[in-house]
Amino acid sequence: MIFRKTHPLIALINNILIDLPTPSNISYIWNFGSLLGICLINQILTGFFLAIYYNNTLLEAFSSISHINRDVINGWLIRSLHANGASLFFFLIFPHIGRGIYYSRFFFIPVWFSGVLILLILIGTAFLGYVLPWGQISFWGATVITNLLTAIPYIGKIITLWIWGSFSVDHITLTRFFSLHFLLPFLLLAIILIHIIFLHETGSNNPLGSSLNIDKIQFHPYFSFKDILGFIIILLLFLRFRILSPYFFIDPENFIPANALVTPPHIQPEWYFLFAYAILRRIPNKLGGVIALFCRILILLILPFSIKNKFKPFWMNPVNKLIFWILVVTFLLLTFLGSCPVNEPYVLIRQIFRFIYFLIFFIIRYFS
């Protein structure tokens, strides 16, 4: 069948990928959105092939990962692409969020709110996948995080036991986590499509601010080649880590099968959770820790209502620019401190920067 140019599918591709009106002054920083889409496709495809060979039973989950790495043809490649692809996903999404803050993307409320929802689902999906290898850190990480739900008044213990399906993290828990980890990426894909629809309704913002988004040119070839170049650079860096340091981001303790009778000396999550882990640790009240854990992401939702001047880009205010870079430094330091042991001076420094992180969002309201 020969498609004419007026065919609906051809017209949709033409509107989205070729003739999409795009601000002429955007830079390579705007590439992260398309790169994140490619990362999601990689995770779904590699995850599907891993699910074919993965055995979600308590006794065989760990050995099935070893079987994939050793016996399945190119299994080591697929597993490495999937495991390191999760790190790449977060490595790209954090600058994507930072760019949205710096260039006032949060004024487009539907786009911003759907983006925050994507981040929450992504964190949940990554945590579920983090449990599946069923090593020491996977098991104890699942135990620690799910135990936080017991801090919810009245119904916390009931919810925790319902998630476990038993009186501890067990075979039923692993089965449920595997099922959810398989299904959530498709929910994530649906919300990303909604996010893109909202984006195409409002159009991309630009460094001069949302209200000055007038000078536009077509997406192809001016920006499609930028996306391709960005993809090639990220792909080369990704393959460098995948080939030369495939286990760089994996805790050595996770190469030991899960043992409920032996607690690892230092339990810590993957690097992209260390920021949240640093906020959680050393809060004496468990419920306060859970609230702080969720507020670290949900606090992004107040940004559209915190900035008073909606006609002047966020970065054009010198105070806001300084606050933004303090926020970036605070995020990086909290990520580092999340991997540090629970002793002085790290405990005090964590508390200071945890306070600074939440304080920044309230300072923005009074200086914007």
Task: Return d(Cα 180, Cα 190) in angstroms, integer.
Answer: 15
Is 226 tagged catalytic? yes
Is 227 tagged catalytic? yes
Catalytic residue (one of 82, 96, 181, 270): 270
Catalytic residue (one of 171, 216, 220, 226): 226
Catalytic residue (one of 64, 204, 210, 251): 204
Is 200 tagged catalytic? yes
- The tokens for 197 are 């629809």
CA dihedral 172, 173, 176, 179 (to 10 degrees): -110
The answer to whether 247 touches 69, Cβ cutoff 8 Å, is no
Considering only CA atoms, give the Rg of the chain.
22
Neighbours of 202 (CB within 10 A): 15
Task: Return d(Cα 205, Cα 223) in angstroms, integer.
Answer: 14
Is 270 tagged catalytic? yes
Listed residue (89, 86, 165, 91) closest to 133, CA to CA: 86
Is 157 tagged catalytic? no
Catalytic residue (one of 67, 200, 286, 312): 200
Task: Return d(Cα 303, Cα 90) in angstroms, integer.
Answer: 21
Catalytic residue (one of 96, 104, 227, 251): 227
Q: Which residues form the catalytic set?
A: 200, 204, 226-227, 270
